[in-house]
Every structure is written in C-alpha cells, then in structure tokens.
C-alpha cells in the first residue's frame, strides 16, 4: 500500500510540475482543455472525476502564472481560456436556436457560439486573477480559489440580466442524492463545496512535497465526496418526501411540437389540438385535476373564444388548465404589447375563461426582446421570438397564483434557472409550476441541463415542481428532487400522478444565499488569518506548558 501511495504521489508531483512549467500558448491550451473537461461533468455526461481534473489543473496553472514575467496578465489569461473551454462545451447548444429560422438568423450562429463563452469567461478570468493576487499556499490557496470562483459565479448570475447556467455544483444535480445539501446552502453553496472538493487534489501538489503529502488532497476530495453523497442518501431515506398528497392530481402534457411548427401561425390550431388530445382522460374523483401545458402552448388564448369553447366541452369537468400563452394588451398610445404568459383557465358560469394571468418578468435578451432596440434594429438585428417589433414586454416580478384552491408559483422557461427568485420571499406556495419550450435547442445537452436546474429549485424550496416542456424533458419532481414522473426528450406523452407532498420550509427557503456568503467568508478568513489565529493560540497556551498550572 505504501509503495502504491508513493508511486501515485510521484506521478501526481511530476504532472503538477509539468503543468506549472507551461508557458505561452501551451499554458493557454492546457487551461482550455481543462475547461472542456469540466463541462463533461455536466449533463448529459456526468463524468464527475473530470471536474477534479479541471479545477485541480486550473489551480496548478494559476500557480505557474503567478511566477510568470507578467503574473496578473498570465493569471487572467489562464482563467479566461479555462472559462472559454468550459462554456464553449457547456452552452454550445444556444447556437441551435439561430437555425430554426435559418434564412434570417443562421449567419449569427458562429458569432453567438463564440461571443457568449468569451463573455462568460471574463468571470473565470477575473476569479483566476484575484486568486493569483492573494498568493496563498497549500490548503489556504484552495479555499481562496474556491471561494473567489464561487463568488464570481454568483456575480455571473446577477450582473446585467444574469446567467447562472452551469454553476459547478450543477454537475451534482444529475441525481437527487448528490444535490440534497442545496436545501441548506442553495445552488451557490453547493457550487462552493463542489469546487473545494474538485480543487482539493492540488492542495498537496507543491514544490518539495513528499509523495504522501501529494496524495493527501485526493484523499480529502474522495472523503468529502463520500460524505456529500452519504448525507444525501440519509436525507432521501426520510419517508416524508415522496409520499403523495390528496391536495391535487397533476396531468403534465408534452405535445412534442417542432419549433418551426410552434412559431408558424398556420399551425396554431393543429398545435392546440395536439395538446388537447393528450388532456381529455377522465379526472380522478378524489382530488382536483390540474392540467399543465407548456410555454406558449396556446398563443392569444385569452382572445380566442372558439378555443375556450372547445376547452369547455373537451376538458374533464372540474379540471383547471394552467397553460403557457402569449397575452396581448393595448398601450395608451394604441400600440399592442405582447407578454409571454401563464394563464389559469377555469370553469365559470359562462364556460371556461382565463381567470388569472402571470407575465414573464425575466426575459431572455435577444431571444424575447432586443436590448438597445433603436440602435440594434437600425443595423438589422432582431429578436428571435416573432412578437412585436421590440419583442415581449416584461412582467412585474415573481408572484403566487391560485388554481383549484392550490397556491403555486409560476415560472416560465428561463426564470427557473435563478436561485432564490422563484417566488416572493415569505410568500411560500404549495408547489412550483414551470412551463418551458426547449425545442429551440434541439436534441442537445441544453434541455437536459435545464432539467437539472429545475431539480435544484425543488430541493432548495422543499416544494414539488410540475414541469411541462414542449419537446421535453417534462417531469413531476418531488420536494427532494426525485423524479416522480417523466416524459423524455422528443416524445409526446402525459404524466398523470398525484401531487407529491411539500416539505417544511428549508434553511435555504428562509435564509436564501446568506449561508453561502457565510461559508465563503469563513473559508477566506481561515485562508488569510487561520495561521495568525493559530500562532496567537499557541502563545496563550505556552504558559500552561511551561508551568503546568492553570493561569
């Protein structure tokens, strides 16, 4: 065993020295390759050991950059090339949306595919620069690196409109077991802990280290991962999570309509009946039936009296339809304003009516609206979604709605990726309802990564989620992130199941991102002042050692 440890330590030390010694384009290429490795830990691959390869390599490359002739520039470049590789492999699928209307937008795909990763990589470049400036050693540099990197992930989720996509902790959301601690510290806290474990193998890889010390970081990483999944397994053993509730019965519809047909007005009637035909089975007698249709399943439904009449006669009596729709109203000037909305369509004395609506407030730039409209429109750019000249109008913000007496938080597509923004703080609903349309992005990693983020929102809030996706993946997720029902990508189908129970309010639901900031601050305090505190404690204890008497 000792010989095996010695050999492993020697190999790791040799590799670490080679990484630190890289310069110029070779260092940049290694950082880019490390970023690609990190992306392979995300959906749909989940090769979790590559996360350790990625982040441990990045730490060693920052070590080397710190000793370069221009350390600040070199460190930023290392972080930027890492981020460019990570996001190029992680969000490449965004370019697929430009080919739906290829005659108009295909020319933009190469620019979008490179510009988005290049912009997001500024955050990883800045994190690497700050880590290098801190100039910590051993385990202290791991804690600084992880805390700074996670804080820049938080910034990425909030700067401008924010894009918290593919946080490091999202790699653990491929299973409910790995993501359970998000109920305490949220997605950003899960990312912080994940980065600590992933970077830990580099802790003992310092010049002059013994072979045994070289493997110490790997041992800590494995032990930490085992503890993380062990805690998750114990939490999932609690029988209170998956049991069904008599509050409601869910019918989640996935009509599987291609994006070209989805946005073609000539196909709206046909698309409407695809969703309707999947919705007409008799309602259960023991609970109210909530039928969920995906994003924009029924454009302008509130104005379509004939469609409402069809719903009155065809949907099960007593059921309530929650559907994505485009809503239109008129401004004071007489111009039409369009909203990406959710409608609650209930039975009334005059047939089915849109009893309440929610308007998406966190719109996708360039997809649903055009920033700096006057300028960009003048040079020939347009938003992808074909509603209005400037696109959709944003709603007022998160809210809670009621259907069949059940309070729920509505989320439309992109809104489900933002931790702590799924409903007003302190106004806790009974469940989350997400409607989305990932058909823009084809059979890629994007829809699968989107599902993982939905799982995290359920775990963070302790609430079940009903998720209806046009082409998938639709799912009924319980309050601990377990998939209680699922329709896979590019299948038409229905999930018919009782609503899982909600859990008591989680720590994250009550405190939001405060535990994450406390963790990051604690790690930084230990990294910068831990040794100082240790010296002070030794000085105070020295008289006890000298005299053997209480002081």
Q: How many residues does the chain have?
A: 551
334 versus 48: which is more confidently predicted? 48
Q: Which residues pair with 434 in a beta bridge?
A: 411, 467
Average pLDDT over residues 24-36: 98
Q: Closest Cα to residue 471, out of 456, 451, 455?
A: 451
pLDDT at 248 over 70: yes
267 carries an active-site annotation: no
295 carries an active-site annotation: yes
Q: What is the pLDDT of residues 537-546, one digit of tens each?
A: 556 555 544 5
Q: How far apart are CA 465 and CA 434, in angstroms?
A: 7
Q: How far apart are CA 319 and CA 250, in angstroms?
A: 10
Catalytic residue (choose from 37, 153, 274, 295)? 295
Average pLDDT over residues 64-74: 93
Average pLDDT over residues 157-175: 96
Q: How confident is the model at residue 241 (pLDDT cuts 50, 70, 90)?
A: very low
Structure tokens at 355: 């009893």
pLDDT at 339 over 50: yes
pLDDT at 25: 96
238 versus 354: which is more confidently predicted? 354
Catalytic residue (choose from 368, 413, 415, 480)? 413
Catalytic residue (choose from 360, 368, 415, 480)? 360
Helices (H), 315-364: none
Which range (138-142, 226-230, 355-359, 368-372) has the least confidence? 368-372
Is 30 in contact with 54 (CB distance < 8 Å)? no
- Residue 115 burial (CB < 10 Å; 0-12/13-18/19+)? exposed
Residue 205 makes CB contacts below 8 A (sequence gap 6+) with 12, 13, 16, 56, 60, 214, 217
Average pLDDT over residues 113-124: 96
Q: What's the pTM value of the predicted model, to 2 decimals?
A: 0.93
- Give the domains, in start order, of the chain with CATH numbers: 2-237 (no CATH), 244-362+397-504 (3.60.110.10)
Q: How far apart are CA 499 and CA 72, in angstroms?
A: 54
Q: What is the pLDDT of residues 258-275, one digit of tens each?
A: 999 999 999 999 999 999
pLDDT at 529: 86
Beta strand pairing status for 320-330 and 336-348?
antiparallel
Q: How far apart are CA 353 and CA 358, in angstroms?
A: 15
Which range (236-240, 297-301, 507-511) has the least confidence? 236-240
Q: How far apart are CA 216 and CA 106, in angstroms?
A: 50
Beta strand pairing status for 244-254 and 493-500?
antiparallel
């Amino acid at each position: 065993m000792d010989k095996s440890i010695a050999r492993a330590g020697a190999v790791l030390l040799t590799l670490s020295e080679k990484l630190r010694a890289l310069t110029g384009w070779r260092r940049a290429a290694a950082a880019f390759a490390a970023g690609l490795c990190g992306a392979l830990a995300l959906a749909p691959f989940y090769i979790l050991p590559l996360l350790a390869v990625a982040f441990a390599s990045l730490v060693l490359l920052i070590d080397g950059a710190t000793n370069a002739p221009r350390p600040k520039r070199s460190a930023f470049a290392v972080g930027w090339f890492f981020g460019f590789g990570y996001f190029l492999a992680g969000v490449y699928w965004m370019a697929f949306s430009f080919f739906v209307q290829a005659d108009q937008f295909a020319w933009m795909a190469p620019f979008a595919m490179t510009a988005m990763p290049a912009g997001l990589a500024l955050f990883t470049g800045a994190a690497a620069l700050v880590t290098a400036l801190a100039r910590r050693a051993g385990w202290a540099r791991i804690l600084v690196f992880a805390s700074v990197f996670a804080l820049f992930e938080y910034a990425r989720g909030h700067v401008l409109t924010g894009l918290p996509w593919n946080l490091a902790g999202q790699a653990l959301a491929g299973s409910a077991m790995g993501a359970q601690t998000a109920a305490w510290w949220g997605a950003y806290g899960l990312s912080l802990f994940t980065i600590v474990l992933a970077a830990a193998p580099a802790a003992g890889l310092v010049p002059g280290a013994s072979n045994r010390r070289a493997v110490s970081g790997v041992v800590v990483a494995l032990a930490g991962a085992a503890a993380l999944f062990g805690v998750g397994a114990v939490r999932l053993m609690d029988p209170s999570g998956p049991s069904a509730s008599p509050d409601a019965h869910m019918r989640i519809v996935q009509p599987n309509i291609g994006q070209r047909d989805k946005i073609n007005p000539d196909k709206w009637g046909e698309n409407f009946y695809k969703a309707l035909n999947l919705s007409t089975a008799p309602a259960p007698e023991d609970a109210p039936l909530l039928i969920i249709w995906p994003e924009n399943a029924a454009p302008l439904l509130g104005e379509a009296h004939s469609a409402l009449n069809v719903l009155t006669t065809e949907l099960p009596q007593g059921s309530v339809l929650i559907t994505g729709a485009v809503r239109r109203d008129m401004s004071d000037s007489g111009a039409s304003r369009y909203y990406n909305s959710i409608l609650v369509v209930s039975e009334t004395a005059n047939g089915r009516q849109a009893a309440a609506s929610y308007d998406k407030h966190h719109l996708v730039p360039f997809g649903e609206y055009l920033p700096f409209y006057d300028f960009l429109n003048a040079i020939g750019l347009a938003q992808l979604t074909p509603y209005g000249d400037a696109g959709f109008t944003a709603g007022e913000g998160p809210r809670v709605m009621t259907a069949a007496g059940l309070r729920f938080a509505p989320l439309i597509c992109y809104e489900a990726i933002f931790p702590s923004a799924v409903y007003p703080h302190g106004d806790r609903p009974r469940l989350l309802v997400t409607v989305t349309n990932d058909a823009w992005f084809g059979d890629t990693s994007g829809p699968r990564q989107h599902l993982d983020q939905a799982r995290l929102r359920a775990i963070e809030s302790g609430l079940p989620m009903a998720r209806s996706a046009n082409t998938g993946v639709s799912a009924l997720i319980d309050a601990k992130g377990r998939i209680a029902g699922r329709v896979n990508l590019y299948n038409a189908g229905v999930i018919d199941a009782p609503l899982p129970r909600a859990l008591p309010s989680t720590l994250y639901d009550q405190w939001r991102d405060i535990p994450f900031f406390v963790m990051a601050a604690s790690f930084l305090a230990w990294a910068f002042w831990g040794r100082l505190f240790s010296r002070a404690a030794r000085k105070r204890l020295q008289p006890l050692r000298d005299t053997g008497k209480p002081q």
